[in-house]
Chain A
């Protein structure tokens, strides 16, 4: 992917001249040493807590009754999967993630195509479009909750007032949609930026050649641009999913998980922070991880295809 990736850096077996090997073993450790602090740190801070979560998930453990802690095997998982509220939050998480990723990807593609053309003030428009992505997530959620959605003095109803439209209470009427709209607003710029980078890396000679051969704009888009963008679309979907599956800020701020908008991260947060059900929360947490692994398996395949290209090209 980097134009200038140099060959040897991507070919580990490549022997490096001009370095006298003291002894093979010592040398191997010398090359490994710079990696170790980061690796050890990551294992301790991310993997150990997860193992602990896994262990806790097999216990019946309410933090308010610490003495009543007992091993229950898979009972917590049974409870989580049979609890309608939790099952609903699984469904909410899927709906939220899929809707936000798809809509922001399509909108982002449209915007990237618009911004790929040259017009007056393109840089300014690009800056205007990026801004939503740069507002602190809690601040963005507050903005939507109070400044835009408020039924009495929000901007949405204010504008509707001018055209004599209805004055709905957005968050009460369509809570999940309200959360999704705010997230689409935040994530569309991100998708646009990735896809714009993809558009600008197209092979212009190929497009010119197609045009000379009489291909129209639409044909060029379908047969050249889309295939080229495919990887960028996948990358955007993947990164968007990773972040939106874990979304906490918008749900917490806009609806506080009410009205059927509680997603899994919010539910896990609530079941230990408010209900003090450590075992249940952990089981739910492990389920979130299993869901993420499913996404991640797909994701890593995509990223590694991007990556193979770099190695292959080098």
Chain B
């Protein structure tokens, strides 16, 4: 009986059911939005609350609201940390993506023995826990300093080099699947018209791989702005190189005062550019992931 009803619902029933379904979907969407965004509201309101009240009253709507937390945080040099993070993440992406694109193209296209093994090997590198790199790299940096005179501790390069290495595998993987999904015929046609392998790569394949390149670039950039352990180990105190996660994650208490307002002000200041970044890049990340790494 019910099976027959389900198979052929009347028009009215179908309409009623879809109305109920739509309301459920709207409620679901609203829940997703609130769950994702509420902590940001809390953060913004707390960053504006001044004095002892922010420490004692959990109600975020109770003032007085002031900008003093922001002045304090900038006074402690937060804008330098923001600049450092931007440089480290930007340079990591600028180095990592071209290097990964070359490898991805090779693995997807060029005749090479042991391709499967190489691809599997790169994927294994994504598993490396940063904590296993802290002490060996620290010692390596010290030895390089002694032998060559280049100091990688408390330098941008000391963070950028490991970040490039650790983000390469995933970028290579995404780009390999992307290059592999581009029909070879297009390239062959270009070569038949007299293009060299390099021209076929740079003029034909790279533009077609743009969504994969975009997704890999975003993942690299986000990893590099996010990383805490290596940045904390190699560039902990110096504001000339300290990145945002280290600044926020190791916020110093001054005296007995709880720095809650200042930490939240710093959090707001770093969130704003990243939210703008997401707004601009969201298409890339969604399309890059859809057709690349998780292709069903």
Q: Do A and B bind each other?
A: no
Residues of A within 8 A of B (CB): none
A-binding residues in B (CB < 8 A): none
